[in-house]
Amino acid sequence: MSAPVISRTRVVAAPPEAVFAVLADPRRHPLIDGSGSVRGVTRGPERLSLGARFGMEMRIGVPYRITNTVVEFEEPRRIAWRHFGGHVWRYELEPVPEGTKVTETFDGRPSRAPWLLRLMGVERTHPAAIEATLVRLAALVEGGLVENGQPGEAADQRPDAAGSDHSA
């Protein structure tokens, strides 16, 4: 049984640097999370880098905390992290005339328990959550809450768009 790999793509009307600034700031992850499971940051740097570790407050049924490690980092093109389960959340950014093509991927291939991912129903739940995350990311970046690649003053406001689990 192969592990699931789920990807969705959206064009964001902003340069890659502005999109990457949000993705590299774990304090912004609850703002863009489309699954509703990412609740907050418990620890870690304000800006991620290769090998950086950051803790998140989560809730899938019950509240819990998880520590992620950045495993891919190519500014402003790619960032990815994983936790002890092994599966990877990856964002790939490509400049296009309209702004930035953003591809979010849940990669279950490195998972320590791919059977558990299937049991949890990630192939059923994650596509919509990823799509919602991309909508929220676009709303945050395009809404002027992030300017010139740096978080703006209003960046702590949650966009009204529907809500991806970045850590589970």
The vertex-108 CA angle with 105 and 109, nearest 5°, equals 110
Measured between alpha carbons, how far is residue 58 from residues 63, 130, 149 in Å?
6, 16, 27
Nearest-angstrom CA–CA distance, 15 and 155: 17
C-beta contacts of 74-82 below 8 A and 24+ residues apart:
75/20, 75/24, 76/15, 76/16, 76/17, 76/19, 76/20, 76/149, 77/16, 77/20, 79/20, 79/23, 79/24, 79/48, 80/107, 81/48, 81/54, 81/166, 81/167, 82/110
Burial class (CB in 10 A: 0-12, 13-18, 19+), 154: exposed
pTM: 0.85
pLDDT score recorded for residue 1: 60
Query: Strand, helix or coil at 166?
Result: coil
Beta carbons within 10 angstroms of residue 105's beta carbon: 18
Q: What is the pLDDT along the chain (168 residues), one digit of tens a residue?
A: 688 999 999 999 999 999 999 999 999 999 999 999 999 999 999 999 999 999 999 999 899 999 999 999 999 999 999 999 999 999 999 999 999 999 999 999 999 998 899 888 999 999 999 999 999 999 999 986 544 444 444 333 333 333 344 554
3-state helix vs strand vs coil in the chain, percent to 5: 25, 35, 40
The domains of the chain, with CATH numbers, are: 5-36+73-147 (3.30.530.20)
| Angle between helix 16-23 and helix 122-142 axes, rounded to 10 deg | 120
pLDDT score recorded for residue 167: 56
- Do 162 and 135 meet the contact criterion of CB atoms below 8 Å apart? yes
pLDDT score recorded for residue 2: 81
pLDDT score recorded for residue 163: 35
pLDDT score recorded for residue 145: 55
pLDDT score recorded for residue 166: 55
- What is the chain's length? 168
